[in-house]
Every structure is written in C-alpha cells, then in structure tokens.
Structure 1
Amino acid sequence: MKFSKGGLAAIILSVSVSGFAAAGGANITDDVVKHGSVQIEVLSQGKGPTIVMLPSLGRSVRDYDQVAQYLVADGFRVLRPEPRGVGKSKGPMENLSVHDFASDVAMVIDEKKAGPVVVVGHAWGNFAARQLAADRPDLVKGGVVAAASAGKVPPGSTEKPINAEMRKAIDGAGDLELPEAQRLQYLKEAFFAPGNDPSVWLGGWHPETHEAEGHARNTTPVDDYFAAGAAPILDLQGENDAVAPRRFSQVLKNMLGDRVTVVVLPNAGHAMAPEQPKAMADAISTFAKRVNQ
C-alpha cells in the first residue's frame, strides 16, 4: 500500500531524498505494509541484493541514514522497517515478545518479495534480527549483529550481560523527563566513544517502543534467538562499547564457532552508526557480498 506523500510525510521524504542525492541514494520510497492490526512503515532505497536494517532500543531506522546511503552506493537495496510505535508503524504494544517484532520484519520481507536477505540488527535490534533468522530461516541469508549484547556471558562468569548500572544509563538516555544534562551524561556513559558527540542522540527516542522492546527482551528466553538459526553471522563490535564490553566480545564466536566472524570498529561505542557510518557500512557490505556469492 502506498501512502500519499503529503503533509509531514512529504517533508520527511523530501529531506531524505535531497540528503542522499549526491551519493546516488535518492528515490527513497516510504511504504506501509499491513496485516491485521499491525502496520509497519518501511523506507526502501537502492537496487541489488537486499539488506534489512533494524534499529536500537526505542529508536528509529533513521539512525541508519548515512549507513544506508553508503550501502546503496555500494550496490545494495536497503529496507528499513520502523518498529511499532515509531512513525507510521502501529500495532498492539502490550506483552510483546521478540518473536512479535521479528514477525513484523518477516511480514515486510514477504510483502516486498525480498528474501532471503542479510538482516542487520543494531543493539536491541540484534535480538529481533537473530529471532528472525531462527523463526524464518527461509528469509535470512546472513545476520549482522552490531554493537550487540550476546544475551549470555562466558561460562563460569557470574556477571549479567548488561549490569544494573549500565541499564540505568541506557534507559536514562531515552528518558525525556530527565534534564538534558543528565541525559547527555548517560549518553556518554553508555553509547558514545570518548571524543564522539553524544548530543546527536538527544532526539529520536520513542518511549512507548522503548518500553515494549524492553518488555520483550526481559520475557523472551535467550535461547529462542541466541543461535540465529543456522545463518552465518557478522559480529560487528565497537572498540569502546561500554554496553557490550570487550570482556564479553567472544561469547558468540566461542559458542557458535565458525559461523561467526568478528570485526571490531575503532573509535566506536554502542551507538556505532552515528559514530562510524562509513566503517560500519564497509563491514556490512563486505559480509553481504560474501554471503551473496
């Protein structure tokens, strides 16, 4: 179903097109895919093998604007479905599981006749990406988990994958009721490498989506999505990621073996996409070209 490109939608789309035109990333389409009580907004651009990109906790796929631009210029079609509660994406928000968010993505891939794809999940989005690969292996050629908590810790460790102090910073960064100075401090602590500008993420938070995704993470068994089916995985890590720290950097590799390729991006924290968009895109492109051979 095509939406009229009028009103605010037209403004957003026109800004997107002008921003990408110089790099060959124009002609972004903004569609809505519907099934029952769920509708998912999808940004689509480019031609070639398909890469589907899923955003971080409580955030929009617009975080990938620059990364998508580079991928389109490198010969890929990029689909970016917004999670429920963001933009024109709507649906029930109570008692959702990671399976529900993965099902929304599957609906988009089926509607767009795009599968099998390379699916990229950034931070929280990595859970939905891995769940998609587990639930619908027919749709996934490979998975990229970027700045991803594995959901488990090394054998023998008594730590949690994300400790309480870091969870406070993650949630506080997107708490719009807190003073801006406090939110900036949380952004520095949790999301950005030293020297990178955290203010670019003061906006773009969607509290209802944040809450629904947090509930899904807390109530979905890790083993439902941990192995990501049988798909090859690129574990794309930030050198300065405080949320997914270096001491846990080999969990996926050690548990899943040769299916996992680890790449570390210098001068990147948990936010990654606004910090190192070109390096992130290059790593995704290299992996996508390999699995599409």
Structure 2
Amino acid sequence: MEQTVELIEDAARGVRLEVLVAGEGPDVVLVPSAMRGASDFAHLQQALAAAGYRSLAVNPRNAGRSAGPLDGLTLQDIADDISLVVGRLCDGPVHLVGHALGNVCVRAAASFRPEIARSVTVMPCGGHDLAVRPVAPEVIAAMPRCHDESLSDAERIEAMRTAFFAPGNDPSVWLDGWWPQSAGVAGAIGRTDPALWWRGGEGPILIVMPLNDAMMAAEAGRATAEALGERASYVEVDNCGHAILPEQPEAVARHVIAFLDRQEGR
C-alpha cells in the first residue's frame, strides 16, 4: 500500500496534525483510540484502498508528530482538529470513522461541524453514557499499566487482556504503538456535555459493537441504535473486545466498506 504523510498546522490554535493518507476515491477520515495512533488503521487503510476509497488516518494531538495543547481541551476543540484535516486535505464532506475514544471524537465532529460529515462509523459506541454505564474499576486500574514500559511485557499483556482484548486473543500486538503523552485528549469528554454530541450529527451512522468489550457493553450500542432510529445501522462482532481493530480486522473492514458502499450508491 502506497502511503503519504501530511503535516498540517493551525498556528492560531497551536495545533499540528500528522495524517497518513492512502488510496484514491471518496474520502474517509480515521480517528484512533486513546493514546493510540494512526498506524492502528493500517489494515483498514489497505482494505479501503483496495475498495476504491482514499483514507486519512489522523494522529491526535501529541501522538506521532502531532502536537497541541491539552489543558482545558474540549470535544469542540477536537471537532475543530478533525475539521482542519477535512478543510486542508479533502474536497467537501467526508466519511468519519472512529475507534474507541475515536468514536466520541467523530460523533463530536459530526455534531459540532456537521458540514464536514457525510456519514459516521463508530466501533464501539459509548462514552456518552458513562453516568449510566461506568467502566469497571478493574478496567480503569489496568489501563495505565498497558503502556507502562517499567513493567514486564507479561504484566502489560495481562493489563491489556483485562482492559482491551477478548479471552483467547493475543494482546502482544499492542505492546507497541502507545502515545501516553496524548492521554489528555480523553479529558475532553468530561468537559463537554454529552447532550451536545452523542447523536453524531443527523446523517447515516454505523455502529459496530464488539461482544466481549470490558469497557462498553453491547447494550450501549443497541440502545444508541434504537434511539437514533432509521439513520443507524447496527452490527455486532464476536470474539473481540475494545481493541476490535487488531482483533477482528477482516470483519471491521467488511462491515465498514459495506456501509460506505451503501452511502456511495455502489
């Protein structure tokens, strides 16, 4: 897969974003999980390119060569970051795809900047309902251990198994690729009223729910799909947890491309 790297800046806001671009065709912007980076989308970008799409995987602030202030960050700020990518590198509205924390980011972008969104895909769907469905304490405790390089690989793998991976799957694929310096991006959730963004705009939305997710139960996705009505497409994927991208890459690509093809009338 041929890939180019774009660096774009908004000097007024002190933001620089690194974007990995692949393929040709309708634009698909990809936003990764908390403290993870654009490289997590490598398999999906290859599949999208083969299916006739141009994908742009974004490194969030302080991941990769991206940079920007994190103090006081809100989801409106993140929506502006995604809009910056679309405005500088794309021609018109795009399909937005978010993994894990990225699911919140792309829904916020479609809500605060609806002019940039043709469709939204989230895998999984959650984060807007933490008051009702809080993350279990043992999962919260495991999360910082996943990227703590002072721990042994075995200890980190066990933490990733607790927080991110379904039983029987191999967490070692995520030993690399962490950007803990970008951890503050997740703080934007607590500074933004979920009522302003949880609907993900008003366009078509695909919800892909892992059935073994320790952070976001499938019931959260089902409830959201029901609340959004006919604009929502809903699928479930077995044998994966919050780390659905490396756990079930073929299923993810199949569902995402089928949804995008419907939006494109293919």
Fold match by TM threshold 0.5: yes
Give a deviation string over 1:124-159, Cα, whole Å, max 9, x none: 011110010011111101100112325227xxxx84
Give the equivalent residue in structure 2 for 1:34. Answer: 9
2:65 alignment partner AA: K
Give the equivalent residue in structure 2 for 1:49. Answer: 26
Aligned: 1:231 with 2:203: yes
Distance of 2:198 and 2:149 partners within structure 1: 31
Aligned: 1:258 with 2:235: no
Q: Is the 8 A contact 1:118 1:143 kept in 2?
A: yes
The share of aligned pairs that are identical, in percent, is 35
Aligned: 1:249 with 2:249: no
Q: Is the 8 A contact 2:48 2:55 kept in 1?
A: yes
Residue 99 of structure 1 deviates from its aligned partner by 1.6
Q: Is the 8 A contact 2:33 2:100 kept in 1?
A: yes
Give the equivalent residue in structure 1 for 2:71. Answer: 94
Distance of 2:117 and 2:6 partners within structure 1: 22
Equivalent pairs, count: 263
Distance of 2:140 and 2:76 partners within structure 1: 22
Residue 289 of structure 1 deviates from its aligned partner by 1.2
Give a deviation string over 1:222-266, Cα, whole Å, max 9, x none: 112101110211001112222112333312112222221111122
Residue 168 of structure 1 deviates from its aligned partner by 2.0
Alignment of 1:16-165 (within 5 A): 25-26=1-2, 28-36=3-11, 37-152=14-129, 159-165=132-138
Per the normalisation by structure 2, the TM-score is 0.93
The runs of 5 or more residues in structure 2 that have no matched partner are none
Structure with the greater alpha carbon radius of gyration: 1
Distance of 2:92 and 2:138 partners within structure 1: 39
Per the normalisation by structure 1, the TM-score is 0.85
Match of 1:278 among 250, 254, 257: 250
Q: Give secondary structure in 2 for the equivalent of 1:68.
A: helix
Deviates more, 1:200-209 or 1:242-251: 242-251
Question: Structure 1 pair 115/290, CA: closer, same or farther in 2 (3 Å)?
Answer: same
Aligned: 1:193 with 2:166: yes
Distance of 2:76 and 2:150 partners within structure 1: 30
Q: Is the 8 A contact 1:147 1:271 kept in 2?
A: no
Distance of 2:19 and 2:62 partners within structure 1: 13
Q: Is the 8 A contact 2:27 2:90 kept in 1?
A: no
Structure 1 runs, 4 residues or longer, greater than 4 Å off: none
Give a deviation string over 1:159-208, Cα, whole Å, max 9, x none: 43423332222333233344433321121112111221101111211112
Aligned: 1:167 with 2:159: no
Give the equivalent residue in structure 1 for 2:153. Answer: 180
Give the equivalent residue in structure 2 for 1:3. Answer: none
Distance of 2:218 and 2:6 partners within structure 1: 39
Q: How large is the Cα RMSD of the aligned pairs?
A: 1.6
2:187 alignment partner AA: H
1:164 alignment partner AA: P
Q: Is the 8 A contact 1:130 1:228 kept in 2?
A: yes
1:267 alignment partner AA: N
Give a deviation string over 1:90-128, Cα, whole Å, max 9, x none: 111222112212211110100013331110010001111
Q: Give secondary structure in 2 for the equivalent of 1:261.
A: strand
Distance of 2:185 and 2:149 partners within structure 1: 17
The runs of 5 or more residues in structure 1 that have no matched partner are 1-24
Q: Is the 8 A contact 1:82 1:89 kept in 2?
A: yes
Distance of 2:53 and 2:76 partners within structure 1: 27
Give the equivalent residue in structure 1 for 2:176. Answer: 203
